[in-house]
Chain A
């Protein structure tokens, strides 16, 4: 079935460090891929979205590239800020499951001054 794997449970960085969060997916369909971010006490919100029509998504300094060959959708940011501390979810959509989104386990990002 469809699945998403985020191997990093937590990432700890200092301000201005480079961020890389690993995400791989498995599906037999042509998916839409999302990154959602969840700040403490809030629900998840969309960070960026990529469909089969465009391979790269960029938002608020974050970027993710959809690589069909390696079935990866890693999230990157050149220079993190303390305010980026949150939980980041890689999400698979528009698969043979139709309406359902498949969420990864989430990666907690902690950024210190």
Chain B
């Protein structure tokens, strides 16, 4: 088995601040994903990466940057935090990049912007 680790678990930021979330996986999976989870709205894809140094935009990429410098890690940056924003950011990985593969999720980073 493997595990996905997300840091930090909780993130409190100020309006306009740039905030970075990190994700590590030891499954040796090719593809990694970042999702945003808002109450009552399911999960929405922000960015994904099918291999090291690859980046693909999801449906919610505006306001975010991502980085995949190593196969095992995938970072997400909130470029300018919005006041009163509250969401959970979930990182996931899958063996390859097709919609048939199971995605394995981390426990999430909870963001609150004051």
Contact = CB atoms under 8 A, between A and B. Distances in A.
Interface of A: 9, 31-32, 34, 41-46, 49, 51, 89, 92-95, 97-101, 103-106
Given A89-B42, A104-B42, A106-B40, 14 more contacts: A9-B40, A32-B99, A34-B102, A42-B105, A42-B108, A43-B108, A44-B90, A93-B100, A97-B99, A98-B98, A99-B50, A99-B56, A101-B99, A105-B41
A106 B38 CA distance: 11
B90 A43 contact: yes
Nearest to A97: B99
A112 to B, nearest CB: 22
Contact of A94 (B4, B42, B99, B108): B99
Interface of B is mostly: loop
Contacts of A89: 42-43
Interface string B31-67: 1000000001111110010100000101100000000
A36 to B, nearest CB: 8
A42 B91 CA distance: 11
A100 B97 CA distance: 8
Given A99-B48, A99-B50, A99-B56, A44 B105 contact: yes
B13 interface: no
B85 to A, nearest CB: 20
